[in-house]
Amino acid sequence: MQILVTGATGNLGFSVIETLLKNIPTENISAFVRGEEKISEIKAKGINVFQGDYDNVSALKSAMANVDTVLLISAGDQGDRMQQHRNVIDTAKKSGVKNIAYTSRAMRNRETLAHQLMEEHFLTEDYIKKSGLN
């Protein structure tokens, strides 16, 4: 099984990689990173690193080759978050990825939304369900 962790240089992504390293072989982990600040640290662990962002479909495609599972860590406030999420999900589907995990929020009722970010989490969840990915 090959896992791609997006947002791997952020706090959550880096922590996920550290946890995965305790549970699966290093060669089964890939990292997708936007910034360069921790690339050398991740590479030093023996992890295959791909640089790009969620707007760069070509970089996403390269990173998802031979990947079974993608962890989509929600995009930040820069750019069009929904389009970025769609880019990741669409590329995963086209690349033959079987499973996708998404860092959404624990909220069940859309009627209690506090702000736009929460709506975008629900919309991303809906898009994943419609994609056919597990």
**CB-CB neighbours of 40 under 10 Å:** 9
For residue 108, the model assigns a pLDDT of 62
Q: Where are the domains of the chain?
A: 3-131
What tokens were used for 31?
A: 């990292």
Which residues on neighbouring strands pair with residue 102, listed in sequence order?
72
Say which CATH topology domain 3-131 has. Answer: Rossmann fold (3.40.50)
For residue 25, the model assigns a pLDDT of 96
What lies within 8 Å, CB to CB, of 17 at 6+ separation is 5, 8, 29, 31, 42, 45, 47
Give pLDDT tens digits for 46-66.
999 999 999 999 999 999 999
Between CA 66 and CA 41 the distance in angstroms is 23
For residue 107, the model assigns a pLDDT of 59
For residue 105, the model assigns a pLDDT of 66
**CB-CB neighbours of 68 under 10 Å:** 15
Residue stretches of the chain with pLDDT short of 70: 105-117
Residue found by looking up tokens 């360069």 in the block: 36
Between CA 65 and CA 54 the distance in angstroms is 16
0.75 surpassed by pTM? yes
DSSP strand pairing (99-102 vs 29-33): unpaired
